[in-house]
Amino acid sequence: MVAKTEFDILEKRKSEIETRDKARSMHMLRLMSVFFTVQFAVSYHTIFNVEWLGWDLVEPFTYSISQGTAIMGMFYILKKRDGGVEYSELDESM
């Protein structure tokens, strides 16, 4: 009886932690989506609407930002998924 009560308490705590983890992951996904949207809008504006800026000046920045965010995304995935780097491990966790 005592063990069942303790197990129920731990199960409830586990579900709270999983709910918080899922909310944090969704928050990060939304944040990254907003970041990419803003990056696209700013790049479009600077390339086509600002006369003294063109693709030759903006492209290195967009490339660097894209590569940096891809690397940050990989680090985030590795951190959240316990460091599995094999394709099958990443495929199963997604």
Inter-CA distances, 51 with 46, 55, 73, Å: 8, 11, 33
Give me the sign of the Cα torsion angle 60, 63, 66, 71.
negative
The model's pTM: 0.55
Select from 89, 65, 66, 67 the least CA-distant residue to 77: 89
Question: The domain containing residue 85 runs over which residues?
Answer: 2-93
How many distinct structural domains can be found in the chain? Answer: 1
Please report, in tens digits, the pLDDT of each residue of the chain (94 residues total).
777 888 888 899 989 988 888 888 788 778 888 888 888 888 788 878 888 877 777 788 878 888 888 888 888 777 776 655 666 666 666 6
